[in-house]
Structure 1
């Protein structure tokens, strides 16, 4: 990912928090020279100084079979994004786009069923434990679990490289920066307002 110096993010805690918040990723691999992708939920984990991504996909999805021929895979994690009109600048310029994104490169492998169950347990806990009638792993019947496990494949990716970009108008002057935030709040789009919030947070 091309990242100009203004927009490069290197703070690992910031990156971990971002992935935790935006943990629906696009996994890109290659099969017979052709790129293929799947959109799926992931968990981002740290073990000592190493980082791992875990997830699962349908058994019927042929992408998991491409792991053997992929020396390295790419995970793309997208945050909020929004169009930025150059009419918001003090001086003449061209429009652009603000966004947040993280790319993770690593080596994939298929995990055991025990590892998959451990991963699914944590995934359900993350998204269900706060709900009054949350469907956590322990509440699922053995019959359903046995049936569903046959239909999915779990994987683990050891992360070799992390690229993170927050393109949030850091290269604009203070007046332009404040105006962009104000204008984004007026846009009738959820992502635009989220970008405004992120821009405010970055300047605190």
Structure 2
């Protein structure tokens, strides 16, 4: 992504806050020699070695999952607010433009164990249910429902470049 220097943000705290507030991202890797993208929640977390990671999961039937290769580099894109900027707003003539906020993250993919997937599932549900009118808890879900976790591939992405 080209970023004009006057617009580039480098404050890691601001970027992490953006990722937490805009965690629905796009995961991109190669599938049969072609870029493939899946829109999914990608949660910012810290691993046991204190590294920043993104954690997510996709269905095992998604062709992208068949092409998850341990330690391959992937790209994750997160979008925020955006808007057309009319040149009529300028004091002098200039071209109209589009302003937006986006973060691109590059990192190495690592497949999660079933226990790690379940842990990330609990975190994900708790995060998004906490403000629900009638929140559910994974602690109250049946064993049958929780077995659906076997239908996903969980992963973490060790963040290497932002």
The 3-state SS of whatever aligns with 2:6 is helix
Which residue pairs with 2:19 in the alignment? 19
The 3-state SS of whatever aligns with 1:7 is coil
Which residue pairs with 1:198 in the alignment? none
Q: CA deviation at 1:141?
A: 1.0
Which residue pairs with 2:116 in the alignment? 115
Contact preservation (8 Å) 1:50, 1:158 = yes
Following superposition, which runs of at least 4 residues in structure 1 exceed 6 angstroms of deviation? none
Deviation per residue, 1:146-172 (Å, 9 max, x gap): 1x112211111101101xxxxxxxxxx
Contact preservation (8 Å) 2:19, 2:44 = yes
Cα distance in 1 between the residues matched to 2:5 and 2:109: 30
Cα distance in 1 between the residues matched to 2:155 and 2:102: 22
| TM-score, with length taken from structure 1 | 0.75
Contact preservation (8 Å) 1:30, 1:69 = no
Which residue pairs with 2:130 in the alignment? 129
| TM-score, with length taken from structure 2 | 0.94
Question: Residues 22-37 of structure 1 correspond to what in structure 2 (within 5 A)?
Answer: 22-37=22-37
Contact preservation (8 Å) 2:26, 2:37 = yes
Cα distance in 2 between the residues matched to 1:124 and 1:109: 22
Question: Residues 54-69 of structure 1 correspond to what in structure 2 (within 5 A)?
Answer: 54-68=55-69
Q: CA deviation at 1:44?
A: 0.4
Which residue pairs with 2:160 in the alignment? 160
Say which structure is richer in strand: 2
Question: Residues 21-100 of structure 1 correspond to what in structure 2 (within 5 A)?
Answer: 21-47=21-47, 50-68=51-69, 71-100=72-101
Contact preservation (8 Å) 2:117, 2:154 = yes
Give the count of matched residue pairs.
161
The 3-state SS of whatever aligns with 1:5 is coil
Deviation per residue, 1:3-28 (Å, 9 max, x gap): 11111111111001100000000001
Contact preservation (8 Å) 1:30, 1:66 = yes
Contact preservation (8 Å) 2:70, 2:110 = no
Q: CA deviation at 1:70?
A: 7.3
Cα distance in 1 between the residues matched to 2:137 and 2:104: 30
Which residue pairs with 2:139 in the alignment? 138
Alpha-carbon RMSD: 1.5
Contact preservation (8 Å) 2:70, 2:111 = no
